[in-house]
A = this chain, B = another copy of it.
Amino acid sequence: MRTRRYTLSASCPDQTGIIARVAGFIAQHGGWILESRFHADNGNGDLAGRYFMRMEVKADSLPFHLVELRERFSPLAESLSMTWRISDSAVRRRVVIVVSKQEHCLYDLLSRWQSRELDVEIPCVISNHETFRAFVEWHGIAFHHVPVSADNKTAAYAEVQRIFDEVRGDTMVLARFMQILPADLCEHYAGQIINIHHSFLPSFVGARPYHQAYERGVKLIGATCHYVTPELDQGPIIEQDVIRIDHSDAIDDMMRYGKDIEKAVLARGLRYHLEDRVLVHANKTVVFR
């Protein structure tokens, strides 16, 4: 079994002495650091002058529990103007999967969940189709059918939100959910909704990216895992990958190859997110893989 650990992920304005103060705080209480990553953004872009960190501390090396750890860390964080969180590996995240009619990401996620590689609670799967009810329920997971049509969008997404809240979801995964979420939902759960887009963004935004890729004659196709924001396919990118195609591949072949990339990229991106390896600032991510 994996060692229980507390994970601090944080960002703050850069200055001298940040590592010394944070690592000093942990050392002073005898904390054993298992993993640590730091990044100072020295560029000219949106992250310029910002400092990012992630530390995993062995839980039983500290003489107090999570609540007290947070309390004791809080003044230091404040003095550094930090945005921060500390999570406990013993508290499993609650992931709600939202899906339409395509099976590949759903099977892939449940396969990982089944083997405990994806070590989370999946309180339910939500879908706008009945397609996967029996398959999901066979896994002992609740299945909610929420039809979405042009007429009922507001009610439908209110229902999605009600279910997500009721099951106390932490993360919503759009596992090839072929619908656009309303802006208010995206904003309400900013940083909590993860989508897999079937192109190498920013190429081929919007619908039918494989058709667009086919028309343009690109030699590689890709997939992008990103946080959902109100601007379609514009959210912070967590992970991407590509696969080679050629002229002999019809759109159907591209879709088939694409599925393999989509599920791999979604699984990686989701894991980074669940392990607090992704820090978002402006519209960009720092990913401490």
- Given A103-B114, A115-B103, A117-B256: A216 and B242 interface contact (C-beta under 8 Å): no
* Min CB–CB distance A100 → chain B (angstroms): 13
In the complex the two chains form, is B35's CB within 8 Å of A40's CB?
yes
Which partner residue on chain B sits nearest A102 by CB separation? B115
Which B residues are in CB contact (< 8 Å) with A289?
246
Interface residue? A286 (CB, 8 A) = yes
Q: Mark A7-49, 1 if CB is under 8 A from B, else 0.
A: 0000000001101110110111011111111111111111100
* Min CB–CB distance A22 → chain B (angstroms): 9
Q: Mark A230-270, 1 if CB is under 8 A from B, else 0.
A: 00000011111110101110110000100110001001000
- Given A27-B16, A40-B34, A138-B138: A218 and B237 interface contact (C-beta under 8 Å): yes
Q: Mark A184-202, 1 if CB is under 8 A from B, else 0.
A: 0000000000000000111
Interface residue? A92 (CB, 8 A) = no
In the complex the two chains form, is A61's CB within 8 Å of B16's CB?
yes
Complex alpha-carbon distance, A119 and B248, angstroms: 20
- Given A104-B115, A217-B237: A26 and B20 interface contact (C-beta under 8 Å): yes
In the complex the two chains form, is B16's CB within 8 Å of A20's CB?
no
The 3 closest A-B pairs by CB, nearest first: A107-B111, A20-B27, A17-B27
In the complex the two chains form, is A250's CB within 8 Å of B61's CB?
no
Which B residues are in CB contact (< 8 Å) with A47?
247
* Min CB–CB distance A237 → chain B (angstroms): 5
Which partner residue on chain B sits nearest A268 by CB separation? B260
Interface residue? A84 (CB, 8 A) = no
Which B residues are in CB contact (< 8 Å) with A203?
200, 202-203
* Min CB–CB distance A160 → chain B (angstroms): 25
Which partner residue on chain B sits nearest A239 by CB separation? B219
- Given A203-B203, A217-B285, A220-B241: A36 and B34 interface contact (C-beta under 8 Å): no
